[in-house]
Chains A and B, each alone.
Chain A
Amino acid sequence: MSAGSWQARVYAALKLARIRQVGYVPDAGHAHLIEAAHADPDMRAVVLTTEEEGIALTAGAWLGGERAVLLMQSSGVGNCINMLSLPVNCRMPFLTLVTMRGEWAEFNPWQVPMGSATPTVLAAAGVQVRRADSPADVAEIVAASAALAFDSAVAVAVLFSQRLVGAKGFEK
């Protein structure tokens, strides 16, 4: 992760937001962030078996006075819906960074239905949805979304567009 890359600036935004726990289901688009979180002695990176675990992890972290973030891919959003009742009901902050699939030069058609549904189902579940399309403003959007989530105690998802992250190649 080079120092000036948008990934490095997103990581710096999470540091500034005092994020201490990072739950993740791996995604190539989050690989830099996951590596940085594991290497950071002030962050605890927690690998999950499924994304809804991360909602409960972030709620537990907040209950104990720490800020957490969930990193996942759009396919995982569908796994989270009922668990989102936890932060919404308890008026807890919730922040997730979602790498999008199924919307830009997608090779795998199985990614398209959930990718298309992601912003709608998040909004329906009570989550504020923001979208980052360009390297120039993604870190600013993450910083503002973290402020919204933690200062106003609401659930916020930042969607990293597939164009921003780069479509996954399936070369044989």
Chain B
Amino acid sequence: MINDGTLDRRAVASVLLRDPADLLVVTGLGAPSYDAAAAGDRALNFYLWGAMGGAAMVGLGLALAQPQRRVLVLTGDGEMLMGMGSLATIAAAAPRNLAIAVLDNARFGETGSQHSHTGLGTDLAAVASACGWPSVAVARDMDEVEALRIRLRREMLFAVLRISPAELPRHLPPRDGALLKDRFHWSLGIASA
């Protein structure tokens, strides 16, 4: 199996994050963090620069703590594969205000573009569905991405976006975790929990 994704990852991210209002965004390490930063750095973006496999679960803890707001996890196929068990954990917890968007290039882009499991037979949308996610979707063109932009802010949805494996210049967000956490708190009006 080879990757057939053709979407431009920056174009996808800029659609998904367009007019974010108070959308709470968690990004998985590597290129999805750069994509979100390129779409416009903001205090309510929480970028992971490590903790590989943890983006979806950060999203769950945040969604349970902020039930009145929407949470979007934007991550890559390699990061999601490492946290695949969390798809079962999240389905069981059933947070209606959480959605996950996987930018799937079927590659470990950060480390030399080695093939990932999604290019070798694993269908992450099918995995999420089998774990009990109520809705899953796959986007292959920009019209489908536009449609997902709306759904990702309304549903408990697991979406796979089939992006091109082309590597783009890095757009680096801040990487001080304490700063990222503090500005997120200030923006939400949380002094200390």
Which residue in A58, A66, A92 is a CB contact (below 8 Å) of B181?
Answer: A92
Q: Which residue of B lies closest to A53 (CB)?
A: B57
Contact call B177/A67, Cβ cutoff below 8 A: no
Q: Which residues of A contact B54 (CB under 8 A)?
A: 52-53, 55-56, 59, 83, 86
Which stretch (A29-37, A43-51, A156-164) binds chain B? A43-51
B177 and A89: CB pair below 8 A?
yes
Q: Note all chain B residues with C-beta closer than 8 A to A55.
A: 51, 54
Whole-angstrom distance between the Cβ of A49 and the nearest chain B Cβ: 3
Size of B's binding interface in residues, CB under 8 A: 37
Are B61 and A65 closer than 8 Å at their CB atoms? no
From the candidates B65, B88, B180, B190, name the one contacting A60 in the complex (CB within 8 A): B65
| Majority SS at the chain B contact face | helix
Residues of chain A within 8 A (CB-CB) of B92 are 46-47
CA distance A61 to B193 in the complex (A): 10
Query: With the chains together, A90 CA to B66 CA distance in Å?
Result: 19
Residues A76-130 near B (CB distance < 8 A) = 82-83, 85-86, 89-92
Point out the residues of chain B lying under 8 angstroms from A61, CB to CB. 61-62, 64-65
Chain A contacts to B: CB under 8 angstroms: 20-21, 44, 46-50, 52-68, 82-83, 85-86, 89-92, 150
For this complex, 18 residue pairs linking A to B, each with C-beta atoms less than 8 Å apart, are A46-B92, A48-B89, A53-B57, A54-B57, A56-B51, A56-B83, A57-B57, A58-B61, A60-B60, A62-B65, A63-B46, A64-B64, A64-B65, A64-B190, A65-B65, A85-B50, A86-B58, A89-B50
* Top 4 closest pairs, chain A to chain B, by CB: A60-B61, A64-B65, A49-B85, A56-B54
- Residues of chain B touching chain A, judged by Cβ–Cβ distance below 8 Å, are 24, 26, 46, 48, 50-66, 83, 85-86, 88-89, 92-93, 177-178, 180-181, 184-185, 188, 190, 193
